[in-house]
Amino acid sequence: MANDNTRPHKAYLTFEEAVEVWPRYWNGEYQHLIAADYGVNPGRVNEVVKERKHIGSREVAMKRYGRAA
């Protein structure tokens, strides 16, 4: 069966993409849906929200999107 997704799969999120993950996560969006939009495994999103990767992306997102700590 052919894959209908137009976004290619990749191995990791960039720091900028990690910043973009935060407001979606804060709004209650499921990690696997966020991951699908970026073409990554859901584990990559989990690494961001558990702050194992892209340390500092949460603080940048809080400043950019006006969320209090």
Phi/psi region, residue 51 (left: phi>0; alpha: psi -120 to 50; beta: rest), is left
Whole-angstrom Cα distance, residue 3 to residue 24? 25
CA proximity to 50, closest of 18, 14, 16, 17:
18
Which one has a higher pLDDT value, 26 or 4? 26
Percent composition of the chain: helix, strand, coil (DSSP 3-state, to 5): 55, 0, 45
pTM (2 decimals)? Answer: 0.84
Q: What is the per-residue pLDDT across 1-11, written as a single tens digit (0 to 9) for each?
A: 445 556 678 89
* Three-state DSSP state, 28: coil
